[in-house]
Amino acid sequence: MAASKGTLVLKAVKKVFVQFCPFEANVRSTREFLAMVGTEKARSTNANCEFITDVKHDRSDPVIDITFADGERLVMKGANLTSKEMFSTLQALCIAKDPQAKEAAKK
C-alpha cells in the first residue's frame, strides 16, 4: 500500500462514496485509497462523515465521489489514478476548506 504523508482531516467532508468491481484489474488503487481514508484515525476527525462502499459485480470502473459540507463534489475515476494521487488531492481540498487544517499543515 502506498504510504501517505501527513494526516487526513475530514472536517470539511460530508460523504465519501466508493464504488468498484473487485474482479477488475484496475481497482487496486481505489481499494488502497479506501483503506487509507477508512482508517479509524481519519474517520475520528469527523464523526458525521458518511462512508458508503458499493461493491458491484458489473465490470464497472472504480469511482470515488466525495461530497463536501459546502456542497462541492469531487469525483475521481480510480482506473487511471494512483491511490497516492487520490489521497493527496483529497487532502489538499480538505486543507483548503478547513482553516484549522491550514494552520496544522503549516506547523
- 94 in a domain, yes or no? yes
pLDDT in tens, 55-100: 999 989 999 999 999 999 999 999 999 999 999 999 999 999 886 7
Nearest to 33 by CA among 72, 4, 75: 4
| Nearest-angstrom CA–CA distance, 78 and 104 | 28
CATH number at residue 55: 3.40.30.10
Q: pTM (2 decimals)?
A: 0.83
- 4 in a domain, yes or no? no
**Terminal-to-terminal C-alpha distance of the chain:** 26
Residue 73's pLDDT is 96
- 50 in a domain, yes or no? yes
Q: Domain total for the chain?
A: 1
| Nearest-angstrom CA–CA distance, 57 and 88 | 28
Residue 7's pLDDT is 79
DSSP state of 79: G
- 41 in a domain, yes or no? yes
Residue-range definition of the domain harbouring residue 53: 21-99
Cα 106 from chain centroid (whole Å): 22
- 70 in a domain, yes or no? yes
Task: Answer whether 82's CB lies under 8 Å from 39's CB.
Answer: no
If residue 18 lies in a helix (H) or strand (E), which one and from where to where? strand 13-20
- 73 in a domain, yes or no? yes
pLDDT in tens, 24-57: 999 999 999 999 999 999 999 999 999 999 999 9
